[in-house]
Structure 1
Amino acid sequence: MLVFLAGFGLGLSLILAIGAQNAFVLRQGVRREHVGVVVLVCAASDAVLYAAGGAGLGALVEQHPAVVDVARWAGAAVVLGYGALAARRAWRGEEGLTAAGDATVDDAGRRLRPVLLTTLALTWLNPHVYLDTVVLQGSVAATYGDDRWLFSAGAVVSSLVWFTALGYGARLLAPLLRRPGAWRVVDGVIALVMLAVAVSLVAGR
């Protein structure tokens, strides 16, 4: 149990930082738009990466920095593009919140593809994800020997708990975001977060 909790604590500490992925999950949660899909993709992706770290692939990633470099530049482009869209919404004052049940089934179906692709891009094209989940978590997990899988399991559960809480808990902010101009502020903040993340990726930090 102590090993499991150690993995849970490390995983939670790595994922709590506000970044492009968390900002996107938060926005989808407030909009109540494909929240389950977004949470599932994020948590499942982390599970795969934590498993890779537990299997010792962190050393392989460190030996091939070119893989991280490709993800870094591609991730910067994706994050910057999403940030530009958020900035445009903030500038134009486009309302981002749709009450539950307001959108038609056809609208929801059309939005699923871009939401899914954005979630995958913000997850898998972020080099920090590999460094945190595969390299760092994998290195710590290795110190537990045969219990490394229990440590990794704790990290996987922390990811599931976090994204579920963020995605479904975000709807509590909905009443505040129905106020005129509220979404302009939210999208403005998201644009700044995305810009900061893109700059950090380009700078290699």
Structure 2
Amino acid sequence: MAATYFSGLLLGFSLILAIGAQNAFVLKQGLLRQYVFWVCLVCALSDAILICLGVFGFASLLSQQVWLIQAMKYFGAIFLFFYGLRSFYNAYKANNGLVASEQPTTTLVQTLILCLSFSWLNPHVYLDTVVLLGSISAQYMDKVAFASGAVSASFIFFFGLGFGARLLRPIFANPKAWKILDVVIGIVMWMIALSLLR
């Protein structure tokens, strides 16, 4: 059981560590110290639901719904394009670094809607959590232990990223560093959007 749990944990970490739209959003919220707990919780719970769906049999059903994957690709690409555009605009407009950004520009509800969009509108998330983890889990007898390991990886990663971001705050007090972060986030969003349309 422990070996299966750690297999799920390590695989979960390997899939989640890549820089993506969701991770960039969590990092930025962590730097701003805005709704960090709720953002981390929503991301981790979303991953947990998708992992469980994959491990316990939803992968085969999802793979048959080609139209759903296609629709999610286009919605996801449009969402990421506009969020990337917003990041570029913020980089152009802002001149005061992290200190000026500390006043919340969105409400908790708006932030959580954004967070849910990053979690559920990106087909890559479904391919990683539902399809890939689901198919790999088939080789394990103890699916609960495997799923628990992968879910643990999501909780550890998102809460570590969100609350660990404060260690980088001195760097992002510099207006140039904050501009660079916004530009990098914009580039990441547009690259993912383009990859969805290919």
TM-score of the superposition, structure 2-length normalised?
0.94
Paired residue for 1:171, among 151, 156, 166?
166
Query: Which residue pairs with 1:32 in the alignment?
Result: 33
- Residues 139-196 of structure 1, C-alpha deviations (whole Å, 9 max, x = no match): 1111113x01110110000000000111000111101111132211110111111110
CA distance in 1, matches of 2:132, 2:108: 33
Residues 16-46 of structure 1: per-residue CA shift (max 9 Å, x gap): 1101100100000001100001000000001
CA–CA separation in structure 2 for the residues paired with 1:99 and 1:200: 33
Distance 1:166 1:97 in 2: 17
1:1-205 alignment, distance < 5 Å: 1-95=2-96, 97-98=98-99, 103=103, 111-145=107-141, 147-203=142-198
What TM-score, normalized to structure 1?
A: 0.91
Q: Which residue identity lines up with residue 177 of structure 2 in the other structure?
A: A
- State the SS of the aligned residue for 1:56: helix
- Letter paired with 1:55: F
Give unmatched runs, 5+ long, in structure 1: none
Counterpart CA distance in 1 for 2:152 and 2:81 is 30
Cα pair 1:25 1:167 within 8 Å, conserved:
yes
Summarize deviations over 1:85-118 as a string: whole Å, max 9, x none.
Answer: 0000111125462489x64xxx58x521221111
Is contact 1:71-1:126 (8 Å) kept?
yes
Deviates more, 1:155-164 or 1:172-181: 172-181
Distance apart, 1:54 and its partner CA: 1.4
Structure 1 residues 198 and 49, CA gap change in structure 2 (3 angstroms): same
Q: d(CA) in 1 for partners of 2:186 and 2:151?
A: 29
| Aligned residues between the structures | 197
RMSD value, Cα? 1.7
SS in 2 for 1:17: coil
Indicate if the aligned counterparts of 1:31 and 1:99 stay in contact, CA closer than 8 A. Answer: no
| SS of residue matched to 1:150 | helix
Identity %: 45
Report the Cα distance in structure 2 between the residues aligned to 1:46 and 1:31, rounded to whole angstroms: 23
Structure 2: state its 5+ residue gaps: none
